[in-house]
Amino acid sequence: MPSSKLIVRIFTFYIAILFSTTPFFGQTETVAIEDLYVRDPYILPNPNTGEYYMYKAGDVKNEKGNQVKGVVAYKSRDLKTWIGPVTVFATPEDNWAPGPIWAPEVHHYNGKYYLFATLNTHVEWKKKEDGWPNYTHRGTQIFWANSPLGPFLPFDRIPHTPLDEMALDGTLWIENGEPYMVYCHEWVQVTDGTMKVVKLKPDLSAPAEAPIRLFNASSAEWSTGSRHKDGRVSYVTDGCFLYKTKSGKLLMIWSSFKNGQYAIGVATSYTGSVLGPWEQQKETLFDQHGGHGMLFQTFDGRLVLTFHSPNSPGGSERAQFYEIEDQGDTLVLKGRL
């Protein structure tokens, strides 16, 4: 349960929204998908309205009117034309990490909505090495709301991943009625990035157990890694998402690099449990410099993969949509929507 201090802050937050003379959700516009910059797109279909919500990180204003890092949502009925942005989350100013935010995704679970977001700091815990990124604190934190459009609020001021891990890209998986978070342990810290899973408390407020490792990025034959100036080869784990096929197989899509190109691969749980062990499929699902994917069902029953491409800095990233065929033991790309 939230602390009394946090309950007071939540109450104040709602009152500020209700009585503010400036609408908290701001102005919206219509934009074509090919004109909308987005990394790590996440889609939540809303059957109550017949709309798709897409979440992305952005700069927003909090209840005090200060600009902070946050998450915005866009809505669409056809996945081509989108209306937004709507502010759904503003990082609390006293949170453990102020941002930037990566990989926001929203899950509906037990009557509430939960935002999983990777938060970053500029605080370094280790001296930078030549040819290597800065060693800064980052982790996945979970926030809750009664609506898919928020406002999403924290359980506490700390992440759900261990503070001594550079962790990112947490996603929700429910197994036998119990919630788990699968996430990536950053290659920057461990060189050969890993996929991990942690069991959560029933209300998702905190971890219930210690995390365990599922696999390393190098376990996939297609994940060829990147060579650095000092000769070390790093292997990336990014963008995990779980899916159960029509035959009951539990699959995980995740991203790494294949011969210098950002790519999406598929892993299969040998036991059918999130705990694995996990076997890597030899063929990639997509390997043309795009990744960080997730799967969703359209209202007309199609299985769709979305991811960002190209994987390049500078604002050229766009959400891509491909129809997927569920073959029971694997997934096959059918064609672009």
**Mean pLDDT lowest for which of 127-136, 154-163, 193-202?**
127-136
Query: Quick check: 9 pLDDT over 80?
Result: no
pLDDT of residue 3: 52
Supply the CATH classification number for the domain 50-336: 2.115.10.20
pLDDT category, 99, cuts 50, 70, 90? confident
pLDDT band at residue 20 using 50, 70 and 90 as cut-offs: very low
pLDDT at 4: 52
Domain ranges (residues) in the chain: 50-336
- Rg (the chain; Cα; Å): 19
This prediction's pTM: 0.92
**Per-residue pLDDT band at 331 (split at 50, 70, 90):** very high
Q: How far from the centroid of its chain's Cα atoms is residue 95's Cα?
A: 19
Whether pLDDT at 225 is above 50: yes
What was the pLDDT predicted at 268? 98
What is the predicted pLDDT for the residue at 52? 98
- The band of 27, judged by pLDDT with boundaries at 50, 70 and 90, is low
For range 70-78, the mean pLDDT: 97
Q: Would you state the pLDDT for residue 16?
A: 37
* Higher-confidence position of 328 and 315: 328
Q: Which strands, in side-by-side order, build the sheet including 194-199? A: 167-175, 178-185, 194-199, 212-216
Peptide bond into 100 cis (omega under 30): yes
Confirm if 244 and 175 have CB atoms less than 8 A apart: no
Instruction: Tally Cβ neighbours within 10 Å of residue 288.
Output: 15
**Residue 15 scores a pLDDT above 90:** no
Taking only the tens place, the pLDDT of each residue in 277-318 is 999 999 999 999 999 999 999 999 999 999 999 998 778 999
| Mean pLDDT (whole number) for 208-225 | 98
Of the two residues 19 and 53, the one the predictor is more confident about is: 53
Mean pLDDT score across all residues of the chain: 92
Instruction: Kindly list the distances between the CA atom of residue 147 and the CA atoms of 75, 203, 321, in Å, as whole numbers in the listed order.
Output: 14, 16, 25
Mean pLDDT of 162-175: 98
pLDDT for 19 = 30
Q: Name the band, by pLDDT with cuts 50, 70 and 90, for residue 11.
A: very low
Q: How many CB atoms lie within 10 A of CB 102?
A: 18
Residue 8's φ and ψ, nearest 5 degrees, are -65, -40
